[in-house]
Amino acid sequence: MEIQLKDFSPGDRGAVAGYAKADPAYRDKLLSMGLTKGTEFTVSRVAPLGDPVEIEVRGFSLTLRKSEADALLVRRVG
């Protein structure tokens, strides 16, 4: 089941399932940051108001704003 990153809490694990219908240039930006379909990640931190979200992906920390995170469709792992 595909959900959005905002539905995760710190410590939750997930994987990229796809992309929302967003600007194709922005999708390319996410792909260049290593967020390809099937890539697993762990949510490290979420700011008090939910923006931004920090995830650990491919051995590095990546911080995404809510608008950026909304472009990702993800699924829970584990």
CA dihedral 72, 48, 41, 58 (to 10 degrees): 100
The CATH number for 49's domain is 2.30.30.90
Please give the residue range of the domain that contains residue 24: 5-76
pLDDT in tens, 34-68: 899 999 999 999 988 878 999 999 999 999 988 88
Q: What local confidence, expressed as pLDDT, does residue 22 receive? A: 67
The pTM of this model reads 0.85
Q: State how many domains the chain has.
A: 1
From 53, 48, 47, 58, select the one nearest 68 (Cα to Cα): 53
| DSSP three-state, residue 30 | helix
